[in-house]
Structure 1
Amino acid sequence: MVICLHRHQEFLYRFIDDGEAIRDSSWFESHSPGVMLAEHQGDWAVATMRDAAHTIWEEYAACRLSARFSHGEMATLSYAEGFETSLSGTVTRAHESIISFRTHGNCSQLLIETARAIAMPLKMSAYLMGHLDGLDEELNLMERCPSVNNSGMGDHFITLQRELRVAWETRKSWEGLSGVDGIVNVILAALLTAGVEVTLSQAPPGSRVYAPFTVETMPNG
């Protein structure tokens, strides 16, 4: 009976979480009508980074809104465990994509693959950050999730939490997806840690994606 109760609570919490994600989308639509469903205009790399940042923001906002309906520490532990699991091998996967890039030379593929690897733990941390902010509980990430200390990305998560909170406070006054540019900057900094330099630009000739040669990112390194 207890197991059934927990399953019912989990289903209800996930249902509420999905509902809050819809509410988050309605905020965006109210101040930037049509932008979410419109085709991206301008530079492809800017669009890619803003898409990734907005996904991270949506998870944070939905978890912050639904936190009051969660069943206490159980949800917190689940988010923390998911975050720590996502950290495993993150930088290594990015390095593997860079090594492949040395052969295929496709900058678009390089950015998409490395951003996917790097953005995943950022997104998973946003679940935890949003949940705890919704409960008005402070997050000591290094203590709650010790594996962050060995990830090489610890500072990026601290910066991410600050930028998510800024986005939250300004969420009803964004002008399109520029409202998540602070989160974009976090992703760019994390990519640089992994070995990819991205300079975003809407002006011709557009954004620049570059992977400096390092021991870790050489085919025979």
Structure 2
Amino acid sequence: MDDIDWDNLPPTTVPSSLLVSLQGFTNQDAAVELGKAVGECVMTLGSFMDLSTLDGVTIGIDYDAALASIDQGIEGLRPLDRTDTEEMQGVAKTCQVMRDGVVKSHLAFNAEMLVPLIAEDQTTMEARQSAIGIIAHECGHVDVNARMEALVPDARLGVKIADFERAVLFQIARIAWDEYAVCRLSARFAPQQNDQHADTVRAVLPEARTRANESIKAYRLHGDLYRLLGEAGGELCQPIKACAYLLGGMDGEDLTWADFPETRAAIEAGGYGELVDALRDRCRALWDSQPTWSAELDVLAPLVDLTRDVFVSGGIYFYQDEAGEWSMKVPFTPESMPDDAMT
């Protein structure tokens, strides 16, 4: 951030009516101080990102309760929840909400992650940088969400894609693009993100294909295609999602794989080298083409196609029957035969 002229920032794009809500605090003075610090951080980030569609900020001691308390503005949606896996634990979320017919974004944070902003004597500079990075990442989602809502019809809040294959592939492609774009957009404010995301990539990659094959083996016995999609498909696509975060941050800092040799080695060993290179090329092209986006163009098509390739690489193929109904086929391979069948 050394290149920023802090005395001559552009006007903030944050709405003047922004409300920061604090939940679950027993120390009200600390709550007020934290709310002020986070609000000021968001206001500053609004000089670098388009935060004009920011609805508000919620900070909770009980993060799950804070998420569940957010009014999404549309009936029938399930309550908001966080990522909770062995490799990834959600601590912040950008939630799309409807307000007076306009789609906006609401930020939710686990208070524990932001406390370093007001506890300088008890925390390290790294912890404060991490807190700012978390806020910057979620603000990046506000910017990206607004562009997607305006220019990518299938990404709009509440839209249901009728075509089965596209519905599956588009959802994954959108996550990959969102996280690439957000990490690239927020890179200068999140100096720790690349090392964190490299750690995540190395955590999810080594056994991803093995776990996918185990799920396919199970499918041979239970025959449930939707379960196959969630289990084997989830394992196959998780490395792509994780790499999207890292690639965005790398491109935001003009870094190469020479800066992350162990992570690149894990990608190659996991059989994702060509797919990750294609992911980077296509995300870079999308980033550069943003000024030409329009609602008439299928701008995420290159990432949808890549996601199909990820499924194919794991032996899962989408197809339509003569009646036009979508299904999946999983040809037998030695790696995905049930163990009982191999004896």
Q: TM-score, normalised by structure 2?
A: 0.58
Identity in percent? 25
Question: CA 1:118–1:174 in structure 2 vs 1: closer, same or farther (change >3 Å)?
Answer: farther
How big is each residue's C-alpha offset from its partner over 1:41-93, in whole Å with a ceiling of 9 and x where there is no partner? 3222210110111011111111000001123xx43222211111110210011
- Deviation by residue 1:132-171 (Cα, 9 ceiling, x = unmatched): 1111223458835121221112111011111111222233
Q: Counterpart of 2:35?
A: none
Are the aligned partners of 2:152 and 2:299 in contact in 1 as well (CA < 8 Å)?
no
d(CA) in 2 for partners of 1:197 and 1:29? 30
Per the alignment, residue 211 of structure 1 pairs with 330
1:28 Cα deviation from its structure 2 partner:
1.2
1:5 aligns with 2:125: yes
Residue 145 of structure 2 is aligned to residue 25 of structure 1: yes
CA distance in 1, matches of 2:284, 2:326: 27
Structure 1 stretch displaced more, 130-139 or 44-53: 130-139
Letter in 2 for 1:134: G
- 2:59 is the alignment partner of 1:59: no
**1:50–1:177 Cα contact (<8 Å) kept:** no
Q: Tell which deviates more after alignment, 20-29 or 205-214.
A: 205-214
The whole-number CA distance in structure 2 between the counterparts of 1:213 and 1:142 is: 36
Stretches of structure 2 lacking an aligned partner (at least 5 in a row): 1-120
After superposition, the Cα gap between the structure-2 partners of 1:70 and 1:2, relative to the gap in structure 1 and judged at 3 Å, is: farther
Change (3 A) 1:178 1:209: farther
Task: State the alpha-carbon separation in 2 of the partners of residues 155 and 182 from structure 1.
Answer: 15
Q: Measure, in 2, the Cα distance between the counterparts of 1:112 and 1:183.
A: 19
Whether the aligned pair in 2 keeps the contact of 1:29 and 1:36 (CA below 8 Å) is: yes
C-alpha distance in 1 between matches for 2:202 and 2:251 = 19
Normalised by the size of structure 1, how large is the TM-score? 0.87
- For 2:318, what is the secondary structure of its paired residue? strand
Distance in 1 (alpha carbons) for counterparts of 2:297 and 2:210 = 30
Q: Tell me the equivalent position of 1:133.
A: 251
Give the equivalent residue in structure 2 for 1:70: 190
Cα distance change of structure 1 residues 39 and 153 upon mapping to structure 2, 3 Å threshold: same
CA contact (8 A) 1:197 1:209 kept: yes
Is the CA contact 1:21–1:62 (under 8 Å) kept in the aligned structure 2?
Answer: yes
Specify the alignment match of 1:120 in structure 2.
238
Please tell me the residue identity of whatever aligns with 1:61.
Answer: A
Displacement after TM superposition at 1:209 (Å): 1.1
Residue 170 (structure 1) aligns with = 289
After alignment, is 176-185 or 162-171 more displaced? 176-185
Higher helix share goes to which structure?
1
Tell me how large the CA RMSD over aligned residues is: 2.4
1:49 counterpart (162, 169, 181) = 169
Q: 1:219 deviation in Å?
A: 0.9
Q: 1-side partners of 2:259 and 2:170: how far apart?
A: 25
Change (3 A) 1:35 1:163: closer
Shift of 1:14: 0.7
Q: Which moved more, 1:48-57 or 1:166-175?
A: 166-175
